[in-house]
Structure 1
Amino acid sequence: MKILFTICGRAGSKGIKNKNLRNFLDYPLSYYTVSVINLFMKKNKQYDSDIVLNTDSEELISQFQNQLKIPIEVIKRKAELGKDDIPKVAVIQNCHEVIKNRLDKKYDLVVDLDITSPLRTLNDLEKLIQKKKTSDADVVFSVTDARRNPYFNMVMKSNGGYQRVINSSFNARQEAPEIFDMNASMYAYCPDFLESGKGIFDGVCDVIKMLDTAILDIDHENDFELMEVIANYLFKKNKDFLSVQENIKNLTTHEYQK
């Protein structure tokens, strides 16, 4: 089985300046993503796996090419794929197209991991890939249990005031359909589905669940700070999370002071 792991990061950021280049608890944020992929590759040597970085950031390319010991393919992102209205799936499609031709490989699976979701475990990644192997879905992605439910305790503004997002007569959360948050951490795609040019929800979807407190949308500075607080707690309480951080020092030529 051949797996292509994609890491996609744009230069700059609307919410946090140069978010993808930031340090997260002593190490570059992006290295947490590289580390969990590396742990998977070391444990699952039966798979033929490659990693590709797709970015328009010269600084991010330098972080990967000059400081990491492991081989990572680099794609310098075209300007038309760096616009605000371009869906990420289009960049992942480009990763697959370029690398399958560059390395002359036919991949069985394309797995994308987001740079801004550093708190994931090897077990999370293994669950995603195993689910995709056993599922007929075109794409499997990670979710968490939702803390709010549009059938019960979420409202939106209307002409007459405010009303439930989805009209219902449910009086208890347990009566409402089970709802999940897409946490944008990991996606596993069929290569043929990627090549079709369709969006995620144009195909058949399946999910794996992750720990809900481990993922936040990092859109503002306080999100970043809160994520570091959560990470410190998880690293102390859960060796599966800590092992991802500890593995970073095995991957880099740089000596980080802790």
Structure 2
Amino acid sequence: MSCIAIITARGGSKRIPHKNIRPFCGKPILAYTIEAALRSGVFEEVMVSTDDEAIAEVARQYGAAVPFLRSEQTSGDFVSSSDAVAEVLHRYAEAGRRFDVVANLYPTAPFVTAERLRDAVDRLLASDAETLVPVVRFSFPPQRGFLIADGELRLAQPQYRETRSQDLEPLYHDAGQFYLARADAFARCPRFYGDHILPYELPELEVQDIDTLSDWEIAEFKYQLLHKEERP
């Protein structure tokens, strides 16, 4: 069973300049994803898909392959990660290399670990699912959320006004770390949100969106908290 890890790391971040190689707790944030994928031992190939030479240089420094740069067609602001993954798989197929499982890893996911990746791949292969998506439970039930309309606060779903929080169905959101798919399923439908998705639940402490500098600071705090026993 051959697996490929594709780390999609486009250049040109607007909100956090050089986001994918910005130092995070002492080294480029991209390095954490690369090192976790390599240590997992489940991937025949760990590669970075990028359009940026600086990112490519850091990727190679930490052990990832960068056999080619992204095309212009998959480097725009509105191109999805799935499009970049499809391009990578096509380029590898042209070179005679095909894989059974494809993983799309985020370059800004320092909480990803080798153990999580191994476990996730094992779970996908042991299931009948086509894809696997890590998720985290909402800390507050979205059913009790509000809207602001015409300057007034209104319940988004007033039918839950009197429902106790503990009686509401738990909802989850994408953890924003990685996705797995069987390669044949991805070839039929090039996306990770398919029809048969296996959930992989993560604890809230291991999840943090990093879209702003404040998010970045929170992520570093969480990372240091998780790894405090490793510090000298």
- Map residues 78-227 of structure 1 onto 2, 5 A cutoff: 78-102=71-95, 104-151=96-143, 153-158=144-149, 161-169=152-160, 171-227=163-219
The equivalent residue for 2:34 is 34
% identical equivalent positions: 19
Match of 1:6 in 2: 6
Q: Cα–Cα, structure 1 residues 75 and 160, in superposed 2: closer, same or farther, change >3 Å? A: same
State the Cα distance separating 1:198 from its structure 2 match.
4.4
- Structure 2 contact 46–65 (Cα < 8 Å) conserved: yes
Counterpart code for 2:90: E
Q: Distance in 1 between matches of 2:90 and 2:129?
A: 21
Match runs of 1:54-69 below 5 Å: 54-65=49-60, 67-68=61-62
TM-score by length of 2: 0.90
Higher relative contact order structure (alpha carbons within 8 Å, sequence separation ≥ 6) = 1
Is it true that 1:51 corresponds to 2:51 in the alignment? no
For residue 75 of structure 1, what is the aligned residue in structure 2?
68
Task: State the superposition RMSD in angstroms.
Answer: 2.2
Q: Which amino acid aligns with 2:56?
A: I
Alpha-carbon distance change, 175 to 119 in structure 1, aligned in 2, over 3 angstroms = same
CA contact (8 A) 1:124 1:210 kept: no
Contact 2:99/2:183 (8 A) holds in 1: yes
Distance in 1 (CA, whole Å) between partners of 2:110 and 2:23 is: 11
Distance 1:161 1:96, change over 3 A: same
Question: How big is the shift at 1:64?
Answer: 2.3
Unaligned runs of 5+ in 1: 243-257
> How far is the alpha carbon of 1:148 from its aligned partner?
2.4
Count of aligned pairs? 231
Unpaired runs of 5+ residues, structure 2, are none
Q: 1:135-190 CA distances to partner (integer Å, 9 max, x unpaired)?
A: 22221011112112222x21224579444444533511221111112111010012
CA offsets 1:24-56 (integer angstroms, 9 cap, x no match): 111111110011111111xx5xxx611121101
Which whole-Å deviations, capped at 9, do the CAs of 1:79-103 have from their partners, x for residues lacking one?
121222222111111122212332x
Give the Cα separation in 2 of the matches to 1:73 and 1:57: 11
Question: For the residues of structure 1 that align with 2:81 and 2:179, how far apart are their CA atoms?
Answer: 11
Map residues 238-249 of structure 1 onto 2, 5 A cutoff: none
Find the aligned partners of 2:68 and 2:111 in 1 and give their Cα distance: 25
> Counterparts of 1:17 and 1:108 in 2: how far apart (Å)?
35
